[in-house]
Structures are given as C-alpha cells and as structure tokens.
Amino acid sequence: MVLAERLALNLTALGFVALGAATAWAWYRYRGQAQGRLAAALVCLAIVAALGRVQDLFGLKGGIVTVIGIIEILAFMASGYFVLMFRDAFLPLHPRARQVAVAALAVSCALGVADVTVLSRAGRGVTAAAGAELILTWVVFTGEPIIRFWLASRSVPSVQKARMRALSFGFAGLIAILVFDVFGGSAVQSPTAIIATQLIALAMVPVIYVSFAPPAMLRNLWRMGEQAELRAAIQDLLIFSPTRQELAEKAAGWARRLLGAQGSFIVDSQGAIVASAGVDSADVIEIIAARTGSPAGGIEAPLHGRGEAIVMPLHLTEGTGFLGVTAGPFTPLFGSDEVNQLQGYASSVTAGLERVRVTERLAAIENNKTQFLNLASHELRGPLTVVRGYVSMLEDGLLGNLNERGRKAVPVITAKVLEMNALIEQMIEAARLEDGALMLRPEKGDLREIVKDAVDAVAPLNDDRHPIRLKCPERPVVVNADAERIKTIVSNLVGNAVKYSPDGGSIQVEIVNRGGIARVSVKDRGVGIAKEDLPILFTRFGRVSTPETDHLPGTGLGLYLGRQLARLHGGEITVDSDPGRGSTFTLHLPVVAPPDPRSRQERLHSAANRSI
Amino acid sequence: MLHVLLIEDDPAIAEMYRVQLEYDGFRVTVATTGEIGYAIVVNAEPDIVLLDLLLPDRSGLEIMADVKERLPNHPPVVILSNYGEPAMIDRGLSLGAIEYLVKSRVTPASVSQSIRGWIEQARRGRSEPSN
C-alpha cells in the first residue's frame, strides 16, 4: 500500500514537472507575454511538485529541508500569483486589486517562510493557521481567474472556449485537492485518499496542458460542431452581402471564429485595411510589411511579444490583397491545418469580394441612370412651364392679336409642348418606378369618365384624319384605381394609335365590362406590329424599328410604364396586331362594387375643408 | 380688387403669372424669396398666396408651416411647384395648402380662373366649424 502511495505521489510530481517543462518549451518557442505568465505559473507548480518529492526520495534532513521548504512555499505562492497575472493580461485587473494582490503575496510569502523557520517550533495551531492563510490566498489567486475565464468563455469561438474551460477545470481540480488536503481532517491521511487525490491531480495535468497548447486533433474536434454552422453562414455572407465593406467586415469576423483566432484583418491591393477585428491597424501594417512567407500564403513569425499570424493572399482584379488572422493568449499555435483552412476560406472571400465589386458597379450604373432620368425630367419641367404658359396666353389673345400665320402656328406649338410634357411625365414616372417610389392613390371611380378625360386630353394632339370613336356601356363601370394613372395609360394608348396610323383612319375606343373585368380596347387601322416584335413592345426603352415608324418620336417608355401601372392595379395590357392592318391594345382592370353615392366633387370639397 | 401674392424666385414664371393675373383684374405682388414673402403675408394681408416650394432662402413647406402656426386667419395658400411626387403633395396638403398644383400641368389662365373659387372655398371653410 505504501508502495502504491509513493508511486502515486511520484507519478503526479513527474506529471507536473513534465507539464512545466512542456509549457516552458512551448513558451520559449513563441514568447507571448500572456502565455509567459501561464508558463511561469505552471513551472512554479512543477517546482513545488518536484521539491515535495525530493525530501522523501533522497531522505534529506536538517537545514536543507528548511531551504527546500522556503523555496517550495515561494514557488507555490508565485504560481498562484502568475495565474492571477495571466488573467490580468487579457481581463485587466483594477489597479487597486493589483496592489492588494502584491501585498497579499508579500504577506503570504513572509508568513510561509516564518512558518517553516521561526514558527516551526510553535504550537501546531499556529502552523496550521499560517498554512491555511497560504492556501486561502492561493485559492483566491487562482479561483477568481478561473471563474472569470469560465464566464468569459461563453462568448468566444469554440476553440478558445474549450481552452479557457480546460484551464478553469484543471485549476478548479487542483483547488479542490488542496482544500480537501488542508481541511479534510483525518480522512486525508488514509492511503486510499492520498492515492485518489494524487490520481485526480495527475489527471489535471493533461487538462491544463491542452489549454496551453492543444494538439491539432483536439482543435479540430472542438471546432467540428461549430463548423457546419459556420460554413452555412459564410456562404450566405459571401452570396448576399450588399457592399464590399460589409462583406469584408463580416468575412474578417468569420475568419476569426473559423480558426478561433485572436484577431483578423482584410487588406486591399493598395495596402489599405478594409476591415479588421481584434487587432490594431499598426500591427496589421507591420505584419503585412514583415511578410516573409511564401507567395501562396502561410504562417508568419510572431512579432515582438505577440503571437504568430497566418496571412493569405487574395487575388483580386485590382491586385493582391491579404486576409490574415493573428494568434493571441487563447488561440491555438497555428499549424498546417489552420493554414489549409484559411486557404480555402481565402478563395471564397476572393470570390465574394469580386462578386460584390461587379454588383456594386452595376448598381452604380443603374443608379446613375435613374438619377439622370430624374434630374433631366425635373429640370426640363421648369422651362417647359414657361413655354406652355406663354403659348396658352398667346392662344387666348392675352398678349395681343396675332396675324393669320401666327394664329396657325399656335396650335402646333401647343400640341408639341403637350407632347413634350407627356414625354417628361413618362420619364419621371419611369424614374419613380425604378426607385420603388411609385405610389398609387386608388379611389373608386367610373372608368367611363376616366377614359373620356383621357380621350379629351389627346384631342389637342390629334387632327381630322384620326376621328376617335368612344363606345361605353350605359351603366357605370366602377374601378378602384388611381384615376390619373389610368388616364395616362389610356391617353398613351390612344396617342400611339394616332402616331402609328400615319395614313389616317378612325380610332375606336371601347369599354366592355364582363365577368368582373373591365376592358378598355383601343383599335387603330395603322401600320401594325410584326409578331416577332411583340415581346420588346413592353420593355423599358423598347421601340420597334421599322421603316414606317423610325421617324416617329418617342421614348419607348409609354407601353413599359402602361403595363407596369396596369399590373400595380392588378390588371394587364395585352396586344393583338395584324401587320399592315392595325393593332388593338387592351387594358384590363378589375371592377369593384358601385362607388360612394356622393360625387367626387363633394368629396374633394370636404377633404379641402378638413385640410384647412 | 383682390390681392394675389406670388412667392416665386424664377423671374420668367413670376412675370408670366403677373401678366395673366393683372389681365384678369387682380392686384399682384411678387416676392422672390421666402422671407420677403412671409413678411408680405404678415403685413399686407393678401387675399391669396401662390407659393413655390424651391426658394433660394428657405423651403416653401417651411413657410407654409410658419404661416399656419403663427397666423390663425391666414389667407388660402396654393402651392405651385415643379415637384409632383405624391409624398410632396401629401405634405403640402397636410400642412394646410388649399391646393397643390404642378406647374407644368397647369396654365396661368387655368390658375387665374380658379382663384376666386379658392378664396371663396377658404372663406366657407373658415366660417364652418372644422370637423
């Protein structure tokens, strides 16, 4: 039994020595400041464990025992202090707390040294009290950080989370053993208890070690659960991000999570930082400038006091940019696994950035076009207002009497001005439609009146060669529609009928109300439209080009707008044509129940009263 | 003689309206900025105001809001603008304009013909308790 007990004690001590050596070596290779503190804590623990066995193994006696005891106590207290300092490295302590910790360390060390020297002959109670103080201080030094780490681990990527939790768990195990040793009473002295506690302590060795330097296999394992979710999110991000900036920021954020890195950044071909998270711009610039890795990307050596970084080139159209991640106290020491992963991710990010670049350019072009349309039409309205006003005043004789030729010219100018006005209105309406700013103002009304108004509006543009015949049902045809818009559609159809009947001919406008649908058909005897040209009729700026019609003015917006407006009303415009003999355009609109008995005039009146 | 105040910064449009309105027997005052216009509304008490929205110093809608807030018995205001956006029309009417017209869609003659009607409509609206 004694042998088993001694074996357990030796094994545990050996385990801690190995842990100390491994962490010291890992730290020696990368020398992160925060990692250094954790390594120091573990090395101190290794010293405590080793010295604890030296006395027993070599049967030492006398003064050397006291010296060993002093070193043991100092190393023990230092280990606790270094854990606290490790916490301070990335969850900074309050300056006052730091002072208190240093004071507590000094007091405990003094007390511990006194305990093994001057107090060693004092009563058992005094020694035990001093020992309890030491243990208590150590428990506070390590207990507070592990609770902090555990809490902080909830909001970090899975690799960091696992590492922080391993550290918390490992030290919690050690604390439990110590508390049990000191306060457990006689139960602690039994060989079974000693073996059990030693084995538990031994089990904590690998747990603490993986928190310091987890092997690639474990890192993969930790990441696995997160990765499927990550992949889906990244795919969404790369496909749906609207702007380059947003994509870069999110892509950098995901790179960080993907590798459980401390920081990440994206730099464009000009060397400007497009996005970064968890890393200073100065550091990014330094990392990029100090790049010594292969052009295909890879691990970069750590810069003074910081962890290493992986930098991957992004081959963009405008040049080579970089995607990088940096290591921190709780991120893995990067390996080939991380490099491969980032490489795959970098090519996705490149594709995403390229896609956004193209769509941004397209959107800018589209936007310019809409803005131009908007501006041009608004700016055209002003001058036209003056021309139209004066022409109407000329026509009224308000500006004096015109001679015969002048009187003949006025109606022509009026017709042309109205035509231009209609074109401008079409352009504005198209711009609104593109902006998504087109709002209907539906109101119940009689379609017969609307169509009559529309036909009247075209009259000034018409001549004797195109008599317009309007045929309406006897009863009202009630539609819930934006009267102005429907008027625009119908006058455009009638205007087209006139325009595309260069040889004259009557135009028939007919309203039919059947099966809940009102149909307004406009029939001409004009040039007609070839079957293959029908599909482009309703496209924006789509005009059919034929020798008969090429000379006629038009924007190619009228039918496009008409169909869009009809559809916004839940209706449609259809066409039926016989080349050389004429066309029939039909507006279909849903019909509703009869309108409010009060006339439109009355309602306008009451609306006006309300607004005063 | 009814007094029409035209707040309009474009001299060509202002002159055109002045010719038409004076021909039809109105007294016309033209203000080329919002501030001058507002001062005339306050001091000269015109019978009706024709208000442009895009003015060099302040927006016509601001003037509209000021008139409504500070002058309980203000003359009827008709907005005469180049903007025809439904949202703008709603804003203008909700601020208390009696009518919102898009310049390019009307002629000076049609505006002039409606003036007496608007003044009458405003008078009726004031004498009736608002609902």
Instruction: List CB contacts of A263: < 8 A, sequence separation 6 or more.
Output: A256, A276, A277, A278, A279, A283, A325, A326, A328
Which amino acid makes up residue A401?
Answer: N
DSSP state of A441: -
A445 closest CA partner among A610, A606, A601: A601
pLDDT at A153 over 60: yes
CB contact under 8 A, A393 and B104: no
Residue from the list B20, B86, B87 with its beta carbon closest to the beta carbon of A398 = B20
Contacts of residue B65, defined as CB under 8 A and 6 or more positions apart, other chains included, come to B95
Across the interface, whether the CB atoms of A382 and B86 are under 8 A apart is answered: no
CB B19 to CB A605 under 8 A? no
Q: Tell me the chain B residues in contact with residue A381 when contact means C-beta distances shorter than 8 Å.
A: 82, 102-104
Give tens-digit pLDDT for A69-120: 889 889 999 999 999 988 887 677 888 999 999 999 999 999 888 887 877 6
Q: What's the pLDDT tens digit per position in A249-271?
A: 888 888 887 777 888 999 988 88
Q: Name chain A contacts of B96, Cβ cutoff 8 Å.
A: 611-612
Instruction: Tell me if chain B has a CB within 8 Å of the CB of A392.
Output: yes
User: How many CB atoms neighbour CB A526 within 10 A?
Assistant: 25
Q: What's the confidence (pLDDT) of residue A167?
A: 87
Listed residue (A282, A289, A278, A225) closest to A252, CA to CA: A278
Residue A320 structure tokens: 């080579």
A vs B: CB pairs below 8 A: 78
**Confidence bin at A610 (pLDDT 50/70/90):** very low
- Amino acid A332: pLDDT: 53
The Cα A341–Cα A298 span in angstroms is 11
Task: In whole angstroms, give the CA distance from residue A484 to residue A565.
Answer: 11
Over 90: is that where the pLDDT of A554 sits?
Answer: no
CA distance A121 to A497: 120
By C-alpha distance, which of A525, A533, A485, A521 is closest to A502?
A525
Amino acid (1-letter code) at residue A426: Q
State whether residue A460 sits within 8 Å of chain B by CB.
no
Of B17, B98, B102, the CB nearest to A612: B98
Best mutation target among B104, B110, B118, B128 (most A Cβ atoms within 10 Å) is B104
When pLDDT is cut at 50, 70 and 90, the band that residue A55 belongs to is confident
A389, A439, A609: residue with CB nearest B125: A609
Mind listing the domains of chain A with CATH numbers? 2-214 (1.20.1070), 223-438 (3.30.450.40), 441-590 (3.30.565.10)
B chain contacts of residue A399, beta-carbon cutoff 8 Å: 19
Rounded-to-integer distance, Cα B2 and Cα B16, Å: 18
Rg (CA), chain A: 43
Q: Nearest-CA neighbor of A520 among A464, A559, A566? A: A566
H or E segment at B83?
Answer: none
Using a CB-CB distance cutoff of 8 angstroms, which residues of chain B are in contact with residue A388? 104, 107
Q: Enumerate the residues of chain A whose CB falls inside 8 A of the CB of residue B102.
A: 381
Q: What is the pLDDT along chain B (131 residues), one digit of tens a residue?
A: 899 999 999 999 999 999 999 999 999 999 999 999 999 999 999 999 999 998 888 889 999 999 988 988 899 999 999 887 777 888 899 998 999 998 888 999 999 999 999 999 888 877 765 44
Sort residue B4 into left (φ over 0), alpha (ψ -120 to 50) or beta. Answer: beta
CA-based nearest residue to A150, from A136, A138, A166, A128: A166
Is the CB of residue A385 less than 8 Å away from at least one CB of chain B?
Answer: yes
Continuous segment of H or E residues that includes residue A330 = none
Contact of A610 with chain B, judged by CB distance below 8 Å, is answered with yes
Question: Nearest-CA distance from B95 to chain A in Å?
Answer: 8
Partners of residue B125 in chain A, C-beta under 8 Å: 608-609, 612
Q: Answer whether residue A64 shows pLDDT above 80.
A: yes
Question: Which residues from A are below 8 Å from B67, CB to CB?
Answer: none
Give the tens place of pLDDT for each residue, A312-326.
Answer: 999 888 888 999 988
Do the beta carbons of residue A193 and residue A184 sit within 8 Å? yes
Whether B19 sits inside 8 A of A378 (CB atoms) is no
Chain-centre distance for alpha carbon A359: 16
Is there a contact between A608 and B23 if contact means CB atoms under 8 Å apart? no
Tokens read off for B54: 């895009």
Q: How confident is the model at residue A155 (pLDDT cuts 50, 70, 90)?
A: low
Contact check, Cβ <8 Å, A421/B128: no
Residue A227: Cβ-neighbour burial (10 angstroms; 0-12, 13-18, 19+): middle
- pLDDT > 60? residue A611: no
Residues of A in Cβ contact (< 8 Å) with B114: none
CA A523 vs CA A506, A532, A533, A575, A588: distances in Å: 9, 20, 18, 10, 15
Query: Rounded to a whole number, what is the distance in Å from the CA of B110 to chain A's nearest CA?
Result: 10
Average pLDDT, chain A: 83
Mind telling me how many Å the CA of A404 is from chain B's nearest CA? 23
pLDDT digits (tens, 9 = 90+) for A449-460: 999 999 988 877
Question: pLDDT-based confidence at A329, cuts 50/70/90?
Answer: low
**Which is more confident, A607 or A384?**
A384
Let me know: does A168 contact A150? Beta carbons within 8 Å.
yes
pLDDT range class, residue A565, cuts 50, 70, 90: very high
CB within 8 Å of chain B, chain A residues 422-451? 424-425, 428, 432, 437, 439, 441
Helix (H) or strand (E) segment spanning residue A214: none
Which residue on chain B is closest to A432 by alpha carbon? B85
CB contact under 8 A, B94 and A609: no
> Counting beta carbons within 10 angstroms of the beta carbon of residue A494, is it exposed (0 to 12), middle (13 to 18) or buried (19 or more)?
buried
Residue B101: the pLDDT is 93
pLDDT tens-digit series, residues A193-221: 888 888 888 888 888 888 877 787 887 78
Domains, chain B: 3-127 (3.40.50.2300)
pLDDT band at A479 (very low <50, low <70, confident <90, very high): very high
Q: What is the DSSP letter of A320?
A: E
Residue in the structure block whose two tokens are 């690799």? A159
| pLDDT (0 to 100) of residue A240 | 75
pLDDT tens by residue, A357-402: 888 888 888 777 777 777 776 778 888 899 999 999 998 888 888 8
Inter-chain residue contact B87 with A439, CB threshold 8 Å: yes
Residue among A374, A379, A386, A606 with most chain B CBs within 10 A, to mutate: A386
